[in-house]
């Protein structure tokens, strides 16, 4: 009794049979009087006070299909107090003989705006999978954390004058509250944030390992390692000498930091849209190119969308070709003493190279530029520095360039060809120079036409037909490709054979060699910002040597700064923390200074999935036994926008850790699922001309000069495939859904949806909208449909509301044994839901449950055993409602670890079939019969059928031909047969 009383005080659910009558009555009174209401419905008009407020409450109670506002807070409280979804550690009760399933969301960046309804799409999918796997007997790891360093928090802090630590903690709290309100079964005991020193200590540790292996370096010059052993401390110290060589990077003056190529779109920063220029700076780099082949080859073994794997293959961009050497000469053909290296994937076309192109940032450009052309070249270089690499390589843009004033000798032809400067060639790819073959490359062809440069055809298509006004880029037969002076003749050869012969000729004559090249560039790994992980290195004042910190000096924490705005000079904000910057190098005890750049936001997200396996370990990054059990991630869900950067960087770090023996798998993420976008509600637009007259969007009139006007949805109707004005169906409207954004004002706050419809309705609707991987359009009207379904489910099991709007305790189910028909309906539903969850077709799983509820409403009674199985099926999708129903069915514990129902094959086979009936060989109709029916029983059913009886009653029957399950053919006596 004391235990029951304590449970009552904590407001925890009790099974009905466990409650003393007086306590049960008190509980009912308490629920009626003190049912928790989280929020007033904000999606509808709210009254402010008095009678209007009371009327609004009454309307809200009438609108709700079931008491979700009581149910959901109660079960969220229960899960939190009981730590229902906590996954114990190895050695703390985890049964490692059971199979495991590690289900992970790409953890979010906690912004001040909080979640919108697009965010829960992937989170709901992973929650369904996690709950399903738990009920299938798996140990499930389903954690959540925060990717909280980076530009957005710092920019917001600068704009508002609030320290990024404060805003980050506030944003995390908001995100956490919203996620908990949706009932996701995360193990919150494993929560991590990349901004916690206990976490980024190990990010810094990984950087030191990269440093020791020569995979982290400054600038483009390889650095050498001098390893020392300090016996008293037993650690390695890497002393790395470096030079002051600089590399061109994307510098954003407004943001005050360097950006990776992928963070620059159309010449402006992805974050904020600020202008970006190319600027030489000393930077930290990670040698991801050393792992290019492995990153490419291991894609084949991953259960990822093929489109994502193809994007990574293209980003890595492995190509085979040749690197060859051109000697630079001046206009008088005097040797300039410079050798220009060129990389090409088509060495077979060397006879068609009519000019060379070097990138504006090429290291030899200054020596290649004649005095006459220097002013033009410098001006062009400045213009090119303002463009992003993506902008420069856009195939649609008009090609631009400038003549350098120098020439080069084509080693195959011996001819002198001009050297041009053009921004469609990148200094970061290949050698930063190309041999241009305009007859067989579209970019070179466009450039040659633009500047009237020679075009020589050297490859003929196999069929001999090609458009002389276009570049022919495919393989073929070599023509115009012979020179007796050079000794190279590839005329008549197939392209592939010719390429091999050219490479052999280059190597034997010292002009070049076979070469494998990659588009992938080393990862620029430094930001001139405050809000990021500090680099664990110092620089000695006397020698300028870079010295890494020892591992027992980690974490190196960020200093508290009041002024973290960009300096405007390129120097990072950390230079303002003078007391922090000035330090003593531990080994030599000499004055030193700290690195003032910080790591990019990507750093912390490269390895967070490992920390979830062992989040509290202060000794090592991750315990080996825990990593071997939980790794790799079984299901990883996130947006396709991370298809290259995050996934490629995380794979690179994982492979380094694999080589070190820290992890036991080659790849971090076994299966990848990209959820689609949820777009805002459809917006309807009408067009009006300058005189204010409506113009139909489907008319032949030009809409360019028209102005647009939004039309409310209640004034729109659909006619055929088009939307038109209700008042004037001749006016067709433009109907389009846009990505949710504050600027468009179409963001739907999940808090509002939860308030009006409940978290289970939101979860169910987002899964019911369509296939998980497809983009969908939000519709508030659509969520009302699934809300009604949950209400029907509630009333089916609990019964109708009482006159005061409340519901009686318990359920209306019976203890009767289920009928054969009920079992067949149930097990058909079990089979479908199980299969659809396995295939992540959640929308069709919900359809199957809707069909079950429709069928169950036709039954005279609902057998408790059937309803219990259905509630378990529903629980991964609508966990709050399912928990409440399970409790009302008499179960004192959460259903989270109950066994998921198994479909029994004996109930899946159809017991009846449609049998064709023929009279004298002509099909006259069909009958529904049991599979077990005998020939006589089948005949009696046919004879009593209204349509068939007229052919059989009173007729003489000569014989019956019955093929079980196939057909019944009745042969009548022809003398008495009717026609």
- Which of 907, 930, 952 is the last residue before a domain boundary? 907
Q: What are the strands, taking DSSP E only, across 902-956? A: 912-919, 922-930
Given a cut of 50, is residue 970 above it in pLDDT? yes
Q: Whole-prediction pTM value?
A: 0.81
Pair 879, 958 in one domain: no
Rounded Cα distance between 588 and 517, Å, is: 43
Confidence check: pLDDT of 112 > 90: no
Q: Domain containing 833 — which CATH number?
A: 1.10.730.10
pLDDT digits (tens, 9 = 90+) for 512-521: 999 999 989 8
Kind and range of the H or E run holding 642: none
Lowest mean pLDDT among 205-209, 309-313, 910-914: 910-914
Res 216 pLDDT > 90: yes
Q: Which of 640, 878, 649 is nearest to 757 (CA)?
A: 878
Which CATH number do you get for residue 389? 3.90.740.10
**pLDDT of 18 higher than 90:** no
Residue 31 has pLDDT above 60, yes or no: no
Structural domains of the chain, count: 4
- Tens of pLDDT, residues 759-814: 999 999 999 999 999 999 998 888 999 999 999 999 999 999 998 889 999 999 99
CB of 533 closer than 8 Å to CB of 608: no
CATH of the domain at 968: 3.10.20.590
* pLDDT given at position 48: 39
- Answer yes or no: is pLDDT of 58 > 50: no
Residues 897 and 916 in one domain: no
The per-residue pLDDT for 262 is 60
Do 861 and 954 fall into the same domain?
no
Helix-strand-coil split of the chain, %, nearest 5: 35, 20, 45
Same domain, 682 and 811: no
Same domain, 364 and 488: yes
Whether residue 902 sits in one domain with residue 812: yes
813 and 723 inside one domain: no
Residue 903 shares a structural domain with residue 942: no
Residue 260's pLDDT band, with cuts at 50, 70 and 90, is: low
Share of the chain above pLDDT 70, in %: 88
Nearest alpha carbon to residue 874 among 889, 858, 859, 861: 889
Choose the final residue of a domain: 881, 907, 933: 907
Please indicate, yes or no, whether residues 829 and 927 belong to a single structural domain of this protein. Answer: no
Judgement on whether residues 897 and 925 belong to the same structural domain of the protein: no
Is residue 490 within 8 Å of 498, Cβ to Cβ?
yes
Q: Does 578 map to a domain?
A: no
Window from 258-262, 451-455, 522-526, 646-650 with minimum mean pLDDT? 258-262
Range of the domain at 727: 678-746
Across the chain, mean pLDDT equals: 87
Write the DSSP string, 916-927: EEEETTEEEEEE
User: Domain ends where: 746, 770, 795?
Assistant: 746
Lowest mean pLDDT, pick from 34-48, 566-580, 786-800: 34-48
Lowest-pLDDT range of 120-134, 674-688, 859-873:
674-688
The reply to whether 389 and 475 lie within a common domain is: yes
| Segment 436-492, tens digit of pLDDT | 999 999 999 999 999 999 999 999 998 877 788 899 999 999 999 999 999 999 999
**How many residues in the chain?**
979
> Residue 261 has what pLDDT?
65
Domain assignment present for 479: yes
In 10-146, alpha helices (H) = 21-34, 50-63, 68-82, 120-135
3-state secondary structure 486-555: CCEECCCCEHHHHHHHHHHHHHHHCCEEEEEECCCCCEECCECCCCCCECCEEEECCCCCEEECCHHHCC
Tokens representing residue 507 in the block: 């190597």
Higher per-residue confidence, 746 vs 129: 129
Q: What is the pLDDT of residues 577-607, one digit of tens each?
A: 999 999 999 989 999 999 999 999 899 999 9
Residue 60 has pLDDT above 70, yes or no: no
Residue 547 located in a structural domain: no
Residue 224 is predicted with a pLDDT of 31
**Per-residue pLDDT reduced to its tens digit, 366-401:** 999 999 999 999 999 988 887 766 677 665 578 899
Q: What pLDDT digit, counting tens, does each position of 612-667 carry? A: 999 999 999 999 999 999 999 999 999 888 878 899 999 999 999 999 999 999 99
Same domain, 363 and 394: yes
Joined tokens for residue 201: 């200590």
Written as six digits, the tokens of 627 are: 């990593």
> Does residue 202 lie within any of the structural domains?
no
Average the pLDDT over 124-132 and give the result. Answer: 98
Residue 379 belongs to some domain of the structure: yes
**pLDDT-derived band at 32, boundaries 50, 70, 90:** very low
What distance lies between CA 143 and its chain's CA centroid? 17
Asked whether residue 345 is assigned to any structural domain, the reply reads: yes
What pLDDT is attached to residue 54? 47
| Residue 443 in domain | yes
pLDDT tens digit sequence for 133-165: 999 999 999 999 999 998 888 888 888 888 999
Q: What is the pLDDT of residue 895?
A: 98
- Residue 647 falls within a domain, yes or no? no
Residue 902 has pLDDT above 60, yes or no: yes
DSSP letter for each residue of 682-740: PEEEEEE-TTS-EE-TTSSS--TTPEEEEE-GGGEEEETTEEEESS-TTSEEEEE--B-
Asked if residues 844 and 921 have their Cβ atoms less than 8 Å apart, the reply is: no
- Average pLDDT, integer, range 109-128: 91
Orientation of helix 842-856 relative to helix 759-768, angle to 10°? 110
Between 274 and 449, residue with greater pLDDT: 449
DSSP β-ladder status, 694-695 and 145-146: unpaired
């Amino acid at each position: 009794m004391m235990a029951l009383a304590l449970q009552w005080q904590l407001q925890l659910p009790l099974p009905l049979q466990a409650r003393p009558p007086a306590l049960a009555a008190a509980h009912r009174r308490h629920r009626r009087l003190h049912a928790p209401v989280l929020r007033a419905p904000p999606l509808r008009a709210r009254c402010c006070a008095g009678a209007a407020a009371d009327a609004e409450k009454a309307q809200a109670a009438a609108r709700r299909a079931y008491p979700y506002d009581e149910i959901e807070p109660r079960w969220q409280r229960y899960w939190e107090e009981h730590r229902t979804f906590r996954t114990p550690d190895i050695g703390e009760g985890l049964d490692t003989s059971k199979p495991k399933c590690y289900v992970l969301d790409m953890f979010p960046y906690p912004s001040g705006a909080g979640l919108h309804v697009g965010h829960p799409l992937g989170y709901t999918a992973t929650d369904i999978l996690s709950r399903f796997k738990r009920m299938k007997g798996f140990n499930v790891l389903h954690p959540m954390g925060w990717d909280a360093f980076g530009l957005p928090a710092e920019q917001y802090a600068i704009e508002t004058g609030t320290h990024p630590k404060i805003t980050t903690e506030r944003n995390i709290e908001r995100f956490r509250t919203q996620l908990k309100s949706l009932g996701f079964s995360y193990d919150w005991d494993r929560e991590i944030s990349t901004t916690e020193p206990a976490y980024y200590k190990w990010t810094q540790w990984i950087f030191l390992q990269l440093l020791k292996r020569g995979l982290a370096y400054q600038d483009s010059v390889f650095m050498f390692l001098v390893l020392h052993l300090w016996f008293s401390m037993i650690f390695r110290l890497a002393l790395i000498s470096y030079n002051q060589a600089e590399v061109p990077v994307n510098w954003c003056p407004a943001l005050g930091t360097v950006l990776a190529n992928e963070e620059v779109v159309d010449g402006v920063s992805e974050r904020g849209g600020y202008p970006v220029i190319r600027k030489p700076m000393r930077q930290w780099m990670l040698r991801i190119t050393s792992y290019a082949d492995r990153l490419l080859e291991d894609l084949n073994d991953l259960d990822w969308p093929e489109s994502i794997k193809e994007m990574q293959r293209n980003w890595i961009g492995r190509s085979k070709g040749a690197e060859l050497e051109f000697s630079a000469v001046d206009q008088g053909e005097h040797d300039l003493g410079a050798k220009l290296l060129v990389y090409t994937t088509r060495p077979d076309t060397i006879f068609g190279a009519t000019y060379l192109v070097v990138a504006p940032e090429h290291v030899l450009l200054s020596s290649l530029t004649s005095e006459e052309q220097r002013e033009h070249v410098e001006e062009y270089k400045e213009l090119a520095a303002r463009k992003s690499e993506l902008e420069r390589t856009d195939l649609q843009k008009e090609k631009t360039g400038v003549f350098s004033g120098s020439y080069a000798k084509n080693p195959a032809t011996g001819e002198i060809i001009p050297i041009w400067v053009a921004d469609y060639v990148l200094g970061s790819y290949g050698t930063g120079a190309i041999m241009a073959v305009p007859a067989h490359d579209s970019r070179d062809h466009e450039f040659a036409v633009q500047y009237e440069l020679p075009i020589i055809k050297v490859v003929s298509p196999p069929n001999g037909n090609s458009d002389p006004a276009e570049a022919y880029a495919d393989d073929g037969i070599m023509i115009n490709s012979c020179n007796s002076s050079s000794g190279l003749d590839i005329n008549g050869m197939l392209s592939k054979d010719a390429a091999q012969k050219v490479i052999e000729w280059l190597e034997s004559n010292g002009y070049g060699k076979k070469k494998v090249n990659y588009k992938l560039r080393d990862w620029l790994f430094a930001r001139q910002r405050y809000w990021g992980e500090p680099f664990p290195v110092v620089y000695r004042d006397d020698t300028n040597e870079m010295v890494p910190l020892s591992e027992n000096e980690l974490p190196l924490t960020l200093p508290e700064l009041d002024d973290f705005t960009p300096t405007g000079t390129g120097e990072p904000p950390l230079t303002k923390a003078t007391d922090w910057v000035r330090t003593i190098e531990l080994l030599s005890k000499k004055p030193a200074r700290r690195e003032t750049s910080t790591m990019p936001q990507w750093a912390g997200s490269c390895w967070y999935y490992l920390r979830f396996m062992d989040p509290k370990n202060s000794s090592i990054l991750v315990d080996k036994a825990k990593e071997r059990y939980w790794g790799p991630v079984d299901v990883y869900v996130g947006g396709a926008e991370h298809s290259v950067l995050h996934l490629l960087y995380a794979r690179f770090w994982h492979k380094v850790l694999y080589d070190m023996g820290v992890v036991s798998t080659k790849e971090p993420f076994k299966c990848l699922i990209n959820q689609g976008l949820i777009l805002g509600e459809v917006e309807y637009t009408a067009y009006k001309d300058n005189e204010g007259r409506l113009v139909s969007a489907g008319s032949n009139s030009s809409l360019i000069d028209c102005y647009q006007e939004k039309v409310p949805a209640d004034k729109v109707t659909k006619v055929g495939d088009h939307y038109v004005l209700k008042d004037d169906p001749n006016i067709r409207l433009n109907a389009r859904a846009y990505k949710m954004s504050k600027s468009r004002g179409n963001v739907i706050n999940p808090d509002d949806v939860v308030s009006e419809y409940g978290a289970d309705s939101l979860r169910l609707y987002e899964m019911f909208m369509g296939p998980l991987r497809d983009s969908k359009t939000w519709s508030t009207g659509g969520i009302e449909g699934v809300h009604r379904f949950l209400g029907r489910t509630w009333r089916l099991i609990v019964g109708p509301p009482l006159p005061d709007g409340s519901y009686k305790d318990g359920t209306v189910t019976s203890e009767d044994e289920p009928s054969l028909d009920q079992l067949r309906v149930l097990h058909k539903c079990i089979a479908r839901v199980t299969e659809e969850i396995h295939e992540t077709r959640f929308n069709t799983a919900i359809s199957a449950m809707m069909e079950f509820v429709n069928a169950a409403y036709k039954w005279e009674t609902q057998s408790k055993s059937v309803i219990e199985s259905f509630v378990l099926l529903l629980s991964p999708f609508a966990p709050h409602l399912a928990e409440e129903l399970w409790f009302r069915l008499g179960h004192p514990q959460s259903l989270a670890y109950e066994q998921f129902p198994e479909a029994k094959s004996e109930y899946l086979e159809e017991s009846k079939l449609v049998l064709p009936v023929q009279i004298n060989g002509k099909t006259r109709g069909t009958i529904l019969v049991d599979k077990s029916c005998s020939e006589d029983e089948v005949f009696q059913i046919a004879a009593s059928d209204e349509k068939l009886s007229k052919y059989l009653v009173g007729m003489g029957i000569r014989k019956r031909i019955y093929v079980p399950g196939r057909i019944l053919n009745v042969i009548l006596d022809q003398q008495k047969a009717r026609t």
